[in-house]
């Protein structure tokens, strides 16, 4: 019998809300204990959460931090222990949440953007080598929406050019690529533990690795670069996780399989039901040799369909289906990156995904009748457009 859990969901007008948070009874007990002992900064709950997360992914080390952005930034900053210099380059996909690029900059590196594949949303491996320069130190693929990037090709390129690979697995908890868990293929992997993700601490992040020296560097970096009691060897961050967040994470790990299975059921159900809309919409697909660790269900309007993404989104939201934009081409559609001097058209696939893409929830609180509602809403939209 699955453990009963409590869920917290923001008040919403939507019949099919985008996200949810699971708070288990065990987590509530741990939270109460933390308050009773007045030990709410990093302590035994954080340590237990790290140990359980590492065991969940089969890695030797896990280092918990205060956000997914910090997880990316600290993983990048580890490279200073391996000869990297400030201003060196890290290759990232153009289409991703802006935190990926921000984290690279915050760590003192320069992000070098590479376009994506429209059908997968992930970095196009065939375009990576053209972006490599003598200052390139790492590749940071993002497994967007929980769909694995093409890690065989990426690892081969990294090996050829003696680069490190940091997986941004923010949205890919439980995803698999050719029998390997996403997060265990590169040298390090950074996860977000934000509220919308499979394992959540509400806010938070975590980095996993099998390399002891990298783990020790991460532990130092999250606390201002400290080593021992009061020696500072690195330019570090203030990025510690607290006990309350860790308690929520421990509870989520206990029901990880339950959450993952429910999300995968919902994702695969929508993939199947949306086949009838293939003429008009590109949706995330699960290919041979991979398992998606579902964050959300992406939908991209095909070219020359006779309607826009904005029309589509306005209609589904009017019918109670919550959605989010499919991120942006960071170097050309985020004004904060204008300093790079890139122009619209430089990353056509990422720009198309942003202009014509959206995504909706497949989280563990959604039932099949709600997903059927999504399908019927899309059918209604296409019929109203004279396309169904």
Reported confidence tier of residue 12, pLDDT bands at 50, 70, 90: low
Contact assessment for residue 24 and residue 251, using Cβ atoms and an 8 Å cutoff: yes
Q: Distance of alpha carbon 353 from its chain centroid, rounded?
A: 17
pLDDT > 50? residue 213: yes
62-108 per-position pLDDT tens digit: 999 999 999 999 999 999 999 999 999 999 999 999 999 999 999 99
Mention the CATH class of domain 6-254: alpha beta
The answer to whether domain 6-254 and domain 257-384 are alike in fold is no
Contact assessment for residue 321 and residue 276, using Cβ atoms and an 8 Å cutoff: no
CATH topology of domain 257-384: 3.90.1150
The residue-averaged pLDDT of 212-237 equals 96
Neighbours of 190 (CB within 10 A): 31
State how far the Cα of 240 lies from the Cα of 221, in Å rounded to an integer.
10
Q: What is the pTM of this model?
A: 0.93
78-91 per-position pLDDT tens digit: 999 999 999 999 99
State how far the Cα of 195 lies from the Cα of 259, in Å rounded to an integer.
13
Helix, strand, coil percentages (3-state) for the chain, rounded to 5, are: 40, 20, 40
Write down the domain spans for the chain: 6-254, 257-384
By mean pLDDT, which of 227-231, 299-303, 338-342 is the weakest? 227-231
């Amino acid at each position: 019998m699955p453990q009963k859990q409590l869920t917290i969901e923001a008040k919403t007008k939507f019949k099919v809300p985008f996200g949810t948070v699971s708070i288990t009874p065990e987590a509530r007990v741990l939270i109460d204990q933390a308050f009773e002992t007045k030990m709410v900064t990093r302590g035994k709950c954080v340590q237990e959460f790290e140990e359980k997360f590492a065991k969940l992914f089969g890695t030797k080390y896990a280092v918990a931090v205060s956000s997914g952005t910090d997880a990316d930034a600290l993983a990048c900053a580890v490279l200073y222990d391996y000869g990297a210099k400030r201003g060196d380059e890290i290759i990232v996909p153009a289409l991703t949440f802006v935190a990926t690029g921000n984290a690279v900059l915050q760590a003192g590196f320069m992000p070098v953007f590479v376009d994506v594949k429209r059908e997968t949303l992930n970095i196009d491996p065939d375009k990576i080598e053209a972006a490599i320069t003598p200052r390139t130190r790492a590749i940071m693929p993002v497994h967007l929406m929980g769909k694995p990037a093409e890690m065989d090709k990426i690892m081969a390129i990294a090996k050829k050019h003696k680069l490190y690979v940091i997986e941004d697995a923010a949205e890919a908890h439980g995803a698999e690529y050719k029998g390997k868990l996403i997060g265990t293929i590169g040298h390090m992997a950074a996860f977000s533990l934000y509220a919308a993700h499979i394992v959540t601490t509400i806010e938070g992040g975590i980095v996993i690795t099998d390399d002891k020296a990298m783990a020790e560097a991460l532990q130092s970096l999250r606390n201002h670069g400290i080593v021992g009691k009061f020696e500072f060897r690195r330019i570090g961050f203030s990025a510690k996780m607290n006990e309350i967040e860790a308690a929520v994470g421990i509870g989520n790990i206990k029901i990880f399989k339950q959450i993952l299975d429910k999300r995968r059921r919902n994702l695969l159900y929508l993939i199947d039901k949306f086949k009838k809309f293939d003429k008009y919409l590109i949706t995330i697909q699960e290919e041979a040799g991979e398992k998606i660790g579902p964050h959300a269900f992406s939908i991209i309007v095909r070219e020359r369909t006779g309607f826009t993404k904005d029309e589509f989104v306005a209609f589904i939201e009017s019918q109670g289906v919550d959605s989010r934009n499919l991120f942006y081409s960071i170097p050309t559609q985020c004004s904060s990156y204008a300093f790079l001097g890139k122009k619209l058209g430089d990353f056509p696939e990422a720009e198309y995904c942003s202009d014509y893409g959206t995504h909706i929830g497949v989280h563990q609180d959604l039932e099949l009748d709600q997903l059927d509602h999504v399908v019927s809403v899309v059918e209604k939209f296409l019929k109203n457009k004279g396309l169904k």
